[in-house]
């Protein structure tokens, strides 16, 4: 394929060409943003290893009733409205690995950013949240306590 053929295709198909450029820019933006977000995304198996190896603190931002229906063993339930990276409770674990999760992984991504801004050194985020944990056939604990 030559550059002239590529230009001819772009002239004949302007909408496809614009769509291709748009998708390429979106992918580049997403990857660059991922590099600079400051926290690490984990898959469920990686979270299991982190909990077992480094005694990571898992903070679950799911709604109370969702947390009671099923959560990761040992996770601590914190309501998003009460999540404060500057709290005395969290200040004691600033040097430990802290993993933030929620039902789907959407709300917890913002919380991970806040932890990193507050000076936490090892911040992780469970990609896909508790639902990803379930899809990996990993056990959930029911009730209030983890």
Is-catalytic flag, 102?
yes
Show Cβ contacts of residue 54 under 8 Å, excluding neighbours closer than 6 positions.
96, 97, 122
Selecting among 50, 56, 90, 102, the annotated active-site residue is 102
Q: What is the C-alpha separation between 15 and 146, in angstroms, rounded?
A: 52
Residues marked as catalytic: 102
């Amino acid at each position: 394929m030559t550059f002239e053929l590529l230009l001819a295709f772009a002239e004949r198909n302007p909408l496809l060409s614009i769509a291709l450029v748009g998708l390429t820019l979106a992918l580049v933006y997403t990857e660059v943003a991922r590099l600079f977000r400051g926290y690490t995304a984990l898959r469920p198996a990686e979270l299991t290893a982190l909990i077992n190896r480094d005694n990571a603190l898992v903070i679950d931002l799911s709604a109370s009733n969702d947390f009671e229906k099923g959560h990761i063993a040992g996770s601590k339930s914190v309501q998003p409205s009460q999540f404060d990276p500057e709290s005395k409770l969290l200040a004691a674990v600033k040097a430990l690995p802290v993993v933030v999760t929620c039902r789907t992984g959407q709300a917890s991504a913002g919380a991970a950013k806040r932890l990193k801004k507050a000076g936490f050194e090892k911040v992780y985020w469970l990609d896909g949240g508790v639902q990803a944990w379930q899809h990996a056939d990993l056990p959930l604990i029911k009730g209030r306590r983890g």
